[in-house]
Amino acid sequence: MARSGARRSRRRWWVLGIVALVVAGGATASGVVIARRANAADPPLTAVATRQDVIRWVSGTGTLVDEYTYSIAADGSATLVERAGASIAGGAAAAPQSAGGTATTDSVSVQPGQRVEDGTRIARVKRADGTKHDVDSPVAGHVRSVSTAPHATADELATIGAGRVLAALAISENQIAEVRSGEKVAVALAAGSAATTGVVDAVQQVPDDSSGALRYTVLVRLDRIPSGARIGMTATGAITTAHADDAVAVPAAAIEVHGSALQVEVQSGGTTRAVPIRTGLVGDTEVEVVSGLRAGQRVVVGASGDVAATTRRLGPPASVTGSNPTASPTGASR
């Protein structure tokens, strides 16, 4: 009997390594399950099958950016220099004006952070011939920087952020295929000091390899801009790429492979029996069970001396969910 128990324990931990490849009819799970086997004679660890939302997440980190950033020149023209935080090729800042000689700034009428409308005065400029004229903003937005001062040469006067404030998140090449426009996103700013929600607005098609790894930028349209948010502030996002609502779910550690089928060991009245199951969505901590198991049934997940089985990628960071997902017995939550 001890030998049979040892074989079962070895099979469970071998299964934990491959369950990501076979669960849900061959769909790849979001993480590799890892655990360390203890003595087979140890009493089993169990968990209760529960009804919950099973969620798969893709997470990434980036910054808050303006949809458009313009450089305002002394002649009142606007040059697009950045789009969603990415520099525009050929979008150099305004050059000094040559018509009528070099102009200088007489006075500045705005400050960083100020909201301006189309027609708001940015500065008053003094031409080489001594005449003065007002330079008005040609776009509505927020002043991001003031680039001049009284008596300085008037080339670029200011930069203005226009359009929406977006979160630009970097997503790895291994996960980008799961991301689609319209998916919901939970966003935390500045190490969790503020939080908001949004939806995926666009997925950039050209990767950034500056860090040595290919990452794609995902632009998130925020539902609300938290008080105190600033352009350039760090944003961490968890994108919900799949979910099954009100599903019967168990930890991935409970699932075994038996031939070509999946099963769990159900404990009841001091005895344990193998029960065939059919699975659905593989979440970041839990697996949906679509048949063979009821909520409330207790399943074996390991032995009492085992290091707790977990998934290598556990969904959104704690700063997004407000809890530590690695410590949660019930898995990710929204």
Tens digits of residue pLDDT in 68-119: 999 999 999 999 999 999 998 765 555 444 444 578 999 999 999 999 999 9
Q: Is the pLDDT of residue 29 over 60?
A: no
Q: Where is the domain boundary, 135, 163, 191?
A: 163
Q: What is the pLDDT of residue 270?
A: 83
What's the rounded mean pLDDT across residues 134-153?
Answer: 96
Same domain, residue pair 173 and 235: yes
Same domain, residue pair 183 and 154: no
Q: What is the pLDDT of residue 199?
A: 97
- Asked if residue 334 is part of any domain, the answer here is no
Q: Is the pLDDT of residue 282 over 70?
A: yes
Domain of residue 82, CATH code: 2.40.50.100
Same domain, residue pair 111 and 154: yes
Domain of residue 176, CATH code: 2.40.30.170
Q: What is the pLDDT of residue 39?
A: 54
Q: Could you tell me the end-to-end alpha-carbon distance of the chain, in angstroms, rounded to an integer?
A: 44
Same domain, residue pair 267 and 228: no
> What tokens were used for 47?
């968990």
Range list of H helices, the chain: 2-26, 318-321
Ramachandran bin of 62, using left for φ above 0, alpha for ψ from -120 to 50, beta for the remaining angles = beta
Same domain, residue pair 31 and 18: yes
Q: Tell me, letter by letter, the H, E, C secondary structure of 171-235.
A: EECCCHHHCCCCCEEEEEECCCCEEEEEEEEEECCCCECCCCCCEEEEEEEECCCCCCCCCCCEE
Q: What is the pLDDT of residue 91?
A: 59
In the chain, % of residues over pLDDT 90: 63
Q: What is the pLDDT of residue 190?
A: 84
What's the rounded mean pLDDT across residues 60-71?
Answer: 96
Give kind and range of the element (H or E) at residue 166. Answer: strand 156-172
Q: Is the pLDDT of residue 300 over 60?
A: yes
Same domain, residue pair 87 and 150: yes
Q: Where residue 41 falls among pLDDT bands split at 50, 70, 90?
A: low
- Asked if residue 273 is part of any domain, the answer here is yes
- Asked if residue 73 is part of any domain, the answer here is yes
- Asked if residue 258 is part of any domain, the answer here is yes
Q: Where residue 18 falls among pLDDT bands split at 50, 70, 90?
A: very low
Q: What is the pLDDT of residue 240?
A: 96
Q: Which residues pair with 221 in a beta bridge?
A: 166, 199
Q: What is the pLDDT of residue 284?
A: 85
Please tell me the distance from the alpha carbon of residue 287 to that of residue 275, in angstroms, as a whole number. Answer: 15
Same domain, residue pair 153 and 236: no
Which candidate, 260, 261, 264, 259, places its Cα nearest to that of 248?
264
Q: Where in the sequence is the domain holding 99, given as residue range(s)?
A: 67-163
Domain total for the chain? 3
- Asked if residue 308 is part of any domain, the answer here is yes
Q: Is the pLDDT of residue 128 over 70?
A: yes
- Asked if residue 218 is part of any domain, the answer here is yes
Same domain, residue pair 10 and 41: yes
Contacts of 232 (CB under 8 A, 6+ apart): 63, 64, 65
Same domain, residue pair 134 and 183: no
Domain of residue 262, CATH code: 2.40.420.20
- Asked if residue 143 is part of any domain, the answer here is yes
What's the rounded mean pLDDT across residues 282-304?
Answer: 91
Q: Is the pLDDT of residue 25 over 60?
A: no
Same domain, residue pair 79 and 159: yes
* Torsion angle (degrees, nearest 10) of CA 13, 15, 17, 22: -170
Please tell me the distance from the alpha carbon of residue 13 to that of residue 1, in angstroms, as a whole number. Answer: 19
Q: Is the pLDDT of residue 290 over 50?
A: yes
- Asked if residue 332 is part of any domain, the answer here is no
What's the rounded mean pLDDT across residues 258-269?
Answer: 91
Q: What is the pLDDT of residue 88?
A: 87
Please tell me the distance from the alpha carbon of residue 10 to that of residue 214, in angstroms, as a whole number. Answer: 37
Q: Where residue 168 falls among pLDDT bands split at 50, 70, 90?
A: very high
What's the rounded mean pLDDT across residues 153-169?
Answer: 95
> What tokens were used for 223?
């539902």
Q: What is the pLDDT of residue 50?
A: 95
Q: Where is the domain boundary, 163, 179, 197?
A: 163
- Mean pLDDT across the chain, nearest whole number? 80
Please tell me the distance from the alpha carbon of residue 240 to that of residue 59, in angstroms, as a whole number. Answer: 9
Q: Is the pLDDT of residue 329 over 90?
A: no
Q: Where residue 192 falls among pLDDT bands split at 50, 70, 90?
A: confident
Q: What is the pLDDT of residue 42?
A: 67
Same domain, residue pair 86 and 141: yes
Q: What is the pLDDT of residue 150?
A: 95
Q: What is the pLDDT of residue 193?
A: 77
Q: Where is the domain boundary, 131, 163, 195?
A: 163
Query: Between 325 and 44, whose confidence is greater?
Result: 44
Same domain, residue pair 8 and 71: no
Does pTM top 0.75 for this prediction? no
Q: Model confidence over 203-228: pLDDT tens digits?
A: 999 998 887 889 999 999 999 999 88
Please tell me the distance from the alpha carbon of residue 286 to that of residue 253, in angstroms, as a whole number. Answer: 9
Dihedrals phi, psi of 25, to nearest 5 degrees: 65, 30
Q: Is the pLDDT of residue 30 over 50?
A: no
What's the rounded mean pLDDT across residues 145-173?
Answer: 95
